[in-house]
Amino acid sequence: MKARILCYDRVLSTQDLARELVTSGVRATMGTVIVATEQQRGRGRHGRTWLSPCGGLYASFILTPDPLLPFLAGVALAQALGELGLCARLKWPNDVLVAERKIAGILIEVIDRCAIVGIGVNIEQAPLPTATCVWAEARGSITRDTLLRSILDNLDSVYAEGILEKYCALSATIGRKVRIELATAKDLKVICGKATGIDRSGRLLIETDEGSHAITAGECIHLRFDRDERDG
Ligand code: BTN
């Protein structure tokens, strides 16, 4: 990907910097990537905080919106980690796991006809005990720059046919027993069942004792016999 890369040491949030760039009226922001080694106010999905200690890879890519972007970004990131020797799998929709623990997350926001794809990868340390990081999982030392270059190359190459097939091949969710939590303004709806696949729109297909569901959005928790596995 031909990108204009803007690098910072410490920022509040690369996602917010990208948003400011998009709304500032500066032309030709498409293809810009904002990268930082530390965030003081990193944001995750569902309004959560993304803990962003020094030494991680925190990047926001300004791209053309596409309904399959959550899957394209997930596949690009998992493939990039795979090329560097890590066995990365995707938890629906696009959390990246290594050895069943979260190593990276993706937050996509659309503003002014631009998609801001925020990618956070734990490199030197895992900020939570339930998470992992690149240095704990990789045999050799992998640098942030190498990983960023590999993500950019993979973002280029996944814009091709068959993205959902590639996504399914990397899925850690399909075939698993899962709990889906759908928060509405009023309450929390919970669906428990087996994840059986992804449809052409990227919806997660769940079979329960009561019937089938196609899930567009929500929190997906992989279930084990004795405990849940929430995000790291
Ligand atoms: C998730 O909740 O799993 C998504 C985490 C996304 C974090 C990235 S780090 C770069 C960008 N800047 C942010 O504030 N958030 C995203």
Any ligand 1 atom below 6 A from CB of 14: yes
Q: 33-91 pLDDT, tens per residue? A: 999 999 999 999 989 999 999 999 999 999 999 999 999 999 999 999 999 999 999 99
Atom 15 in ligand 1: which residue has the minimum CA distance?
43
- Say whether pLDDT at 104 is over 80: yes
Atom of ligand 1 nearest to the CA of 52: 9
Any ligand 1 atom below 6 A from CB of 74: no
Q: Which amino acid is at 79?
A: Q
CA dihedral 190, 191, 197, 203 (to 10 degrees): -50
Main-chain phi, psi angles of 25, to 5 degrees? 85, 0
Cβ-contact 122, 147 below 8 angstroms: no
Domains of the chain: residue spans and CATH: 4-169 (3.30.930.10), 177-231 (2.30.30)
- Say whether pLDDT at 120 is over 60: yes
Atom of ligand 1 nearest to the CA of 56: 9
CA of 57 to the centre of ligand 1 (A): 10
Any ligand 1 atom below 6 A from CB of 46: no
Q: 148-198 pLDDT, tens per residue? A: 999 999 998 877 678 999 999 999 999 999 999 998 888 889 999 999 999
Predicted pLDDT at 228: 54
